[in-house]
Structure 1
Amino acid sequence: MPATPTRSKLGLLAALGLAQLLIGLDYNIVFVALPDIAGLGFSPQTLQWVVSAYAIAFGGFLLLFGRLTDALGRRRMFAVGLSLFALGSAFGTIAVGEWMLIAGRGIQGLGGAALAPSTLALLSVGFREGAERNRALGVWGAAGSAGMVLGSILGGVLTDAWGWRAIFAVNIPLIALIAALTAIAVPADDGHPRLRGLDAPGAILTTASAILLVTGLTLSAESGWTAPATLLCLGLGLAAIVVMLFVESRTGNPLLDLGMFRNRHLATGTASTFLFMAGFGATAYFLTLYLQDTRGLGPAVTGLAFVIPCLGVLLGTTAGARLATRYGLRTALVSGQIIGLLGVTGFARFVRADTEWVTLVALTLVFSLGQGIVFTTMFATATTGVDESAQGYAGGLATAGQQIGGAIGLALLIALTSAVSSPQLTTAMMGIAVIIALGLGVALLVPRTAAVAPQ
Structure 2
Amino acid sequence: MRRSPWATLAVLALAQFIVVLDVTIVNVALPDIQADLNFSTDSLQWVINAYTLLFGGFLLLGGRMADLLGARRVFVGGLILFGITSLVAGLANSPEFLIGARAVQGLGGALLSPAALAILTMTFAHGRERNIAMGVWGGLAGLGGTLGVVAGGVLVDSLSWQWVFFVNVPIVIALIALIPVFVPDVRHHVGVRTFDTLGALLGTAGLMSIVYGVVRSEPSGWGSAEVIGVLTAGVLMMVAFVFVERRSAAPLVPMRLFRSRALSVSGASLSLNGAAFLSMFFLTAIYLQQVRGDSALEAGVHFLPMGGAAIVGAVLASQLVQRIGTRTVQLAGAVLSVGALLWLSQADATGSYATQLLPGLILFGFGIIGVGVPGQITAVSEVRPAEAGAASGVVNAMYQVGGALGLAVVTTLSISHTTSELTQGATQQHAFEAGFERGLLVAALFSVANVILTLAAAPQLQPTADQLAEATAAA
1:318-356 CA-to-partner distances (Å, cap 9, x unmatched) read 2223334555444433332233333223334x5344443
SS at match of 2:28: coil
2:258–2:264 CA contact under 8 A, matched in 1? yes
Residue among 133, 148, 155 paired with 1:151? 148
What's the counterpart of residue 33 of structure 1?
Answer: 29
- Aligned in 2, Cα 1:204/1:89: closer, same or farther, shift over 3 Å? closer
What's the counterpart of residue 235 of structure 1?
Answer: 232
TM-score, normalised with respect to structure 2: 0.80
What's the counterpart of residue 445 of structure 2?
Answer: 434
1:252-263 equivalence runs, <5 A: 252-263=249-260
1:222-277 CA-to-partner distances (Å, cap 9, x unmatched) read 65544443332221110112222234333443333210122344323322221111
Corresponding letter in the other structure for 1:448: Q
Deviation at 1:136, TM superposition (A): 6.1
1:108 and 2:119 are equivalent in the alignment: no
Corresponding letter in the other structure for 1:205: L
- Higher relative contact order, chain-length normalized (CA < 8 Å, sep 6+): 1
What's the counterpart of residue 5 of structure 2?
Answer: 7
What's the counterpart of residue 300 of structure 1?
Answer: 297
Residues 240-249 or 211-220, more deviating: 211-220
Cα distance between partner residues in 2 of 1:182 and 1:326: 42
1:55 and 2:52 are equivalent in the alignment: yes
SS at match of 2:5: coil
Deviation at 1:142, TM superposition (A): 4.4
1:86-97 equivalence runs, <5 A: 86-95=83-92
- Aligned in 2, Cα 1:324/1:184: closer, same or farther, shift over 3 Å? farther
- Aligned in 2, Cα 1:301/1:410: closer, same or farther, shift over 3 Å? same
What's the counterpart of residue 23 of structure 1?
Answer: 19
- Aligned in 2, Cα 1:328/1:132: closer, same or farther, shift over 3 Å? farther
SS at match of 2:193: coil
What's the counterpart of residue 423 of structure 1?
Answer: 434
Corresponding letter in the other structure for 1:31: N
1:18-43 CA-to-partner distances (Å, cap 9, x unmatched) read 34432232123233334444576545
SS at match of 1:423: helix
Cα distance between partner residues in 2 of 1:220 and 1:184: 52
What's the counterpart of residue 158 of structure 2?
Answer: 161
- Aligned in 2, Cα 1:289/1:197: closer, same or farther, shift over 3 Å? closer
Cα distance between partner residues in 2 of 1:280 and 1:71: 34
Residue among 329, 334, 339 paired with 2:331? 334
Cα distance between partner residues in 2 of 1:40 and 1:212: 27
Corresponding letter in the other structure for 1:423: A
1:314 and 2:325 are equivalent in the alignment: no
- Aligned in 2, Cα 1:172/1:380: closer, same or farther, shift over 3 Å? farther
1:361 and 2:358 are equivalent in the alignment: yes
Cα distance between partner residues in 2 of 1:340 and 1:134: 29
1:266–1:394 CA contact under 8 A, matched in 2? yes
Any stretches of 5+ residues in structure 2 without a counterpart? 422-432, 470-475
Corresponding letter in the other structure for 2:61: L
- Aligned in 2, Cα 1:327/1:119: closer, same or farther, shift over 3 Å? farther
Cα distance between partner residues in 2 of 1:133 and 1:380: 17
Corresponding letter in the other structure for 2:459: P
The sequence identity of aligned pairs, in percent, is: 34
1:398 and 2:388 are equivalent in the alignment: no
2:5–2:123 CA contact under 8 A, matched in 1? no
Cα distance between partner residues in 2 of 1:335 and 1:131: 30
1:320–1:332 CA contact under 8 A, matched in 2? yes
Corresponding letter in the other structure for 2:28: V
Cα distance between partner residues in 2 of 1:99 and 1:427: 28
SS at match of 1:236: helix
2:336–2:366 CA contact under 8 A, matched in 1? yes
What's the counterpart of residue 202 of structure 1?
Answer: 199
Cα distance between partner residues in 2 of 1:320 and 1:449: 13
1:339–1:369 CA contact under 8 A, matched in 2? yes
1:124–1:383 CA contact under 8 A, matched in 2? no
Cα distance between partner residues in 2 of 1:328 and 1:119: 31
Cα distance between partner residues in 1 of 2:372 and 2:320: 13
Cα distance between partner residues in 1 of 2:73 and 2:55: 18
Corresponding letter in the other structure for 1:451: P
TM-score, normalised with respect to structure 1: 0.83
SS at match of 1:249: helix
1:134–1:380 CA contact under 8 A, matched in 2? no
2:27–2:281 CA contact under 8 A, matched in 1? no
1:271-310 equivalence runs, <5 A: 271-310=268-307
Deviation at 1:72, TM superposition (A): 3.6
What's the counterpart of residue 451 of structure 1?
Answer: 463
1:131-164 CA-to-partner distances (Å, cap 9, x unmatched) read 9877766654443344334332232321221222
- Aligned in 2, Cα 1:5/1:140: closer, same or farther, shift over 3 Å? closer
2:278–2:404 CA contact under 8 A, matched in 1? no
Corresponding letter in the other structure for 2:199: G
Any stretches of 5+ residues in structure 1 without a counterpart? none
Deviation at 1:75, TM superposition (A): 4.1
Cα distance between partner residues in 2 of 1:180 and 1:334: 46
2:84–2:169 CA contact under 8 A, matched in 1? no
What's the counterpart of residue 264 of structure 2?
Answer: 267
Aligned length: 450
Cα distance between partner residues in 2 of 1:250 and 1:137: 34
Deviation at 1:449, TM superposition (A): 4.3
2:30–2:286 CA contact under 8 A, matched in 1? no
Deviation at 1:110, TM superposition (A): 0.5
What's the counterpart of residue 369 of structure 2?
Answer: 372
Deviation at 1:109, TM superposition (A): 0.9
1:379-420 CA-to-partner distances (Å, cap 9, x unmatched) read 343344545654553343222211211121112222333455
1:31-66 CA-to-partner distances (Å, cap 9, x unmatched) read 333444457654537655443432342233233324
Deviation at 1:121, TM superposition (A): 5.1
2:211–2:408 CA contact under 8 A, matched in 1? no
